[in-house]
């Protein structure tokens, strides 16, 4: 396979994952704005920060008005990470690697792009936000379904999946890092309504509020949530799960190519970080742990890019 094609697949799925994650953040933020009007501005501010769009946003707006934030995150062409920008980039990568995709996957991406483009053609209002978000969610799900249902389990699939998991791991780490202070034991006003809302929002941002309570029976402690999102390998958006999956793809490639690359060693090392109890992570500092993880994920992505000759 061409190095360029591997890179195109990797980025196509990174961008699709990004579009979905941004939509999920908006959904969580919107929920807070609906239920707790007093905190709305704060909450939107942290959503913008989590999305990594604070500098770009501040250039355009002074406030964190929900209409501004929603439209900036979903459809602003000046925002390179808006859902629409990410969708454009995903589709443009898909065109580039079209020969490597099954026709089902290509059509699903193309239709996803058309539907999202139509949904985001005009400013999003409170009245149609739910519908817009649902379009993004269901259309992305169709792409994922087509990928699982129709693609060969070969190198092509491996690069697609790595893009997804690296982006997702980065996203979960960022959500936790922006809110890490509410998870610190020192800040545990357990039982106050503010904390509950914050926790709930963290879980909602990764679509895991139901699975968390199913597993923990409503017992929300800071450690419990951190353990769940960082270390629990049953959770498809946990950092440990994403790391294990990335390593799995890399070892497939190692088997198929018959050579071991530096990225494979890096992934092994990274996965080992998740083999410690959550208390140990809190001891060394949650913020430091998350920062290191974000940095390592970026380094791994770069190493993969180099090992498999994405750009020459």
Partner 1 sequence: MDKQSRFFDEMFDSAGAARQPYARYNEWFQTEDIRHLRRKSEEAEAFFRRIGITFNVYGQQEADERLIPFDVVPRIISAREWSRLEEGIAQRVRAINAFLHDIYHRQEILRAGRVPVELIARNEAFLPQMIGVNPPGGVYTHIVGTDLVRTGDNEFYVLEDNARTPSGVSYMLENRETMLQMFPELFTRLKVRPVSSYPQNLRRSLSDCAPPAFNGDKPEVAVLTPGIHNSAYFEHAFLADQMGAELVESHDLKIMDGRVCMRTTRGYTPIDVLYRRIDDDYLDPLNFNPNSLLGVPGIMDVYRAGGITLANAPGTGIADDKALYSYMPDIVEFYTGEKSILQNVPTWRCSEADSLKYVLDHLSELVVKEVHGSGGYGMLVGPAASKRELARFEKKLRARPSNYIAQPTLALSTVPIMTKRGLAPRHVDLRPFVLVSPNKVQITPGGLTRVALKEGSLVVNSSQGGGTKDTWVLGD
Residues that bind partner 1 (CB under 8 A): 1-6, 92, 95-96, 98-99, 103, 106-107, 110-111, 114, 155, 253, 257, 259, 308-309, 312
Output b/e per residue, 64-94; b: 16+ Cβ within 10 A: bebebbbbbbbbbeebebbbbbbbbbbbebb
Task: Sort residue 289 into left (φ over 0), alpha (ψ -120 to 50) or beta.
Answer: alpha
CA distance 25 to 43: 10
Give the nearer residue to partner 1 in terms of CB position, either 21 or 158: 158
Nearest by Cα to 26 from 164, 120, 147: 120
Could you please report the per-residue DSSP string of 33-81? HHH-GGGHHHHHHHHHHHTT-HHHHHHH-SS--HHHHHHHHHH-TT-TT
Give the nearer residue to partner 1 in terms of CB position, either 82 or 201: 82
Nearest distance from C-beta of residue 197 to partner 1, angstroms: 42
Give the nearer residue to partner 1 in terms of CB position, either 155 or 170: 155
Give the nearer residue to partner 1 in terms of CB position, either 191 or 312: 312
CA distances from 230 to 177, 181, 202, 206, 312 (A): 11, 15, 12, 12, 34
Give the nearer residue to partner 1 in terms of CB position, either 212 or 308: 308
Nearest distance from C-beta of residue 259 to partner 1, angstroms: 8
Packing angle of the helix pair 155-178, 239-257 (nearest 10 deg): 160
CA distance 79 to 58: 11
Nearest distance from C-beta of residue 27 to partner 1, angstroms: 27
Nearest distance from C-beta of residue 253 to partner 1, angstroms: 8
Nearest distance from C-beta of residue 3 to partner 1, angstroms: 5
Nearest distance from C-beta of residue 300 to partner 1, angstroms: 16
Give the nearer residue to partner 1 in terms of CB position, either 103 or 196: 103
């Amino acid at each position: 396979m061409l190095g360029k094609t591997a890179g195109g697949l990797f980025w196509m799925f990174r961008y699709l994952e990004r579009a979905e994650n941004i939509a999920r953040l908006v959904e969580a933020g919107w929920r807070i704005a609906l239920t707790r009007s007093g905190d709305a501005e704060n909450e939107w501010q942290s959503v913008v920060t989590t999305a990594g769009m604070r500098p770009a946003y501040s250039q355009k707006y002074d406030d964190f008005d929900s209409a501004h934030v929603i439209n900036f995150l979903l459809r602003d062409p000046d925002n390179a990470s808006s859902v629409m920008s990410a969708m454009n980039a995903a589709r443009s990568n898909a065109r580039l690697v079209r020969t490597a995709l099954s026709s089902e996957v290509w059509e699903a991406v193309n239709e996803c792009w058309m539907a999202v483009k139509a949904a985001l053609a005009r400013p999003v209002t409170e009245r149609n936000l739910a519908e817009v978000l649902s379009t993004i969610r269901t259309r992305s799900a169709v792409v994922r379904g087509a990928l699982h249902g129709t693609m060969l389990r070969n190198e092509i699939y491996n690069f697609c999946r790595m893009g997804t998991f690296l982006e997702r791991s980065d996203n979960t780490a960022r959500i936790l890092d922006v809110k890490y202070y509410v998870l610190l034991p020192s800040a545990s006003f357990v039982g106050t309504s503010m904390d509950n809302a914050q926790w709930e929002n963290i879980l909602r941002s990764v679509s895991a509020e139901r699975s968390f309570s199913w597993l923990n029976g409503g017992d929300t402690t800071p450690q419990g949530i951190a353990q769940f999102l960082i270390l629990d390998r049953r959770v498809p958006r946990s950092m440990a799960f994403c790391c294990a999956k990335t390593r799995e793809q890399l070892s497939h490639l190692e088997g198929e190519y018959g050579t071991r690359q530096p990225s494979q060693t890096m992934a092994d090392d990274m996965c080992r970080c998740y083999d410690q109890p959550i208390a140990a992570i809190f001891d060394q500092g949650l913020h430091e742990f998350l920062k290191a993880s974000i940095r390592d994920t970026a380094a791994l992505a770069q190493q993969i890019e180099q090992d498999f000759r994405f750009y020459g």
